[in-house]
Chains A and B, each alone.
Chain A
Amino acid sequence: MDELNLKDLERIPIPEGLEKRLSEKIDEWEQAEKKPHFFSFNKPLRHVSVAASIALVLGLGYILLQQKVSINLAEQDTYRDPAIAKREAERALNLLASNLNRGMEQMKKAKDISDKTEHTLNKQLKSWK
């Protein structure tokens, strides 16, 4: 019975190019098996991806924390009335401006004296020539 089946099988014609197609398919399967999975990446790339995830989480946490901090700062305002707050802010800025003005006036006086001295010196030097 087995001998008969074998003989019948040998009589069946083999389609053309079957061997070639089969070997190509086998090659395909081999390559698919060799394709790297995520966890078979080289170590440095895995470390980079982990580090990037940690950095992203830390960054998001920091941004959320800053929002919380800015809300807390608004709650610490000394004045509840914006008009009073504005008045005090202007007073502080005017104080800064007046002090800066004083300094600049002194600087201008010093510059005038320096220019006058330079002018006198140049005049004297010219007269000696």
Chain B
Amino acid sequence: MRRTIITLLCCVCCTMTCMTAQAQVKAFEKYSDAKNVTYVYISQFMLKLAGLKATPSLPGVNTTNLMSKLDCIQIISSEEKNAALKLKADTQGIVQKEKYGLLLQVSEEDEKVDIYYSIDKKHGVVIMLTQENNEVTVIIFSGKFTLEDVIKMVNK
């Protein structure tokens, strides 16, 4: 009886974990209707329609492998000061709450870029937060990929 209860609890926990991972994408969906915010959503369905063969624009960068593993891409940006600050605060809140790891932080003159990641066996999310003057852009890559897939993209 005890074993059955423990098994059922484990199943519930696994379900909740899966639901939490999807909740990361949903946390940003509220910006689809927000004022002074540009929201772009590209689903796996649309990516597959487009065909996975990427046309490289940067030398030595191959995005085909990672693109094939993406479930969706969300691009949120704002040039309005208050909306941009709110977007930045929300993103940092989510990153702190869900204990994302900091992959990279680049700070140059007027531009600051933070790249966060949360990758486990079933699901991966990479969030790139860019701040330039008063403009804030957040790009969320969500899918079934590993950190190696992300690093392999770049020039060696």
- Closest A residue to B48 by beta carbon equals A82
A13-21, A27-35, A47-55, A112-120 - the one binding chain B: A47-55
List CB contacts (< 8 Å) of B65-107 with chain A: 66-67, 70, 72-73, 75, 104-106
- Are the CB atoms of A90 and B41 closer together than 8 Å? no
A3-11, A97-105, A121-129 - the one binding chain B: A97-105
Distance in angstroms from A67 CB to nearest chain B CB is 13
Interface size class of A (residues with CB under 8 A): 20 to 34
Inter-chain CA distance A95–B154, complex, in Å, is 11
Chain B residues near A101: list those with CB within 8 A: 58, 61, 154-155
B49: interface (CB < 8 Å): yes
Given contacts A73-B72, A78-B41, A92-B141, contact A99 B115 (CB under 8 A): yes
Contact with B along A65-99 (1 / 0, CB 8 A): 00001000110111100110110111011111111
Distance in angstroms from A78 CB to nearest chain B CB is 5
Distance in angstroms from A59 CB to nearest chain B CB is 8
- Are the CB atoms of B104 and A76 closer together than 8 Å? no
Inter-chain CA distance A47–B72, complex, in Å, is 42
Inter-chain CA distance A85–B46, complex, in Å, is 7
Given contacts A82-B49, A102-B106, A103-B104, contact A92 B15 (CB under 8 A): no
Contact of A93 among B22, B66, B105, B106 (CB under 8 A): B66
A106: interface (CB < 8 Å): yes
From A51, A90, A96, A103, name the one whose CB has the most chain B CB atoms within 10 angstroms. A96
Chain B residues near A90: list those with CB within 8 A: 54-55, 57, 63, 67
B50: interface (CB < 8 Å): yes
- Are the CB atoms of B113 and A77 closer together than 8 Å? no
- Are the CB atoms of A44 and B1 closer together than 8 Å? yes
Inter-chain CA distance A20–B62, complex, in Å, is 88
Cβ contacts A to B, 5 pairs, < 8 Å: A73-B43, A85-B42, A88-B73, A100-B115, A104-B154
Known: A55-B8, A96-B150. 19 other contacts (CB 8 A): A48-B1, A77-B42, A77-B43, A77-B45, A82-B46, A83-B50, A85-B47, A85-B49, A89-B47, A89-B50, A90-B55, A90-B57, A90-B63, A92-B73, A94-B61, A99-B104, A100-B154, A101-B61, A102-B106
Which are the 4 A-B pairs with shortest beta-carbon distances? A86-B50, A82-B50, A82-B49, A93-B63
| A contact residues vs B (CB 8 Å cutoff) | 44, 47-48, 51, 55, 62, 69, 73-74, 76-79, 82-83, 85-86, 88-90, 92-104, 106
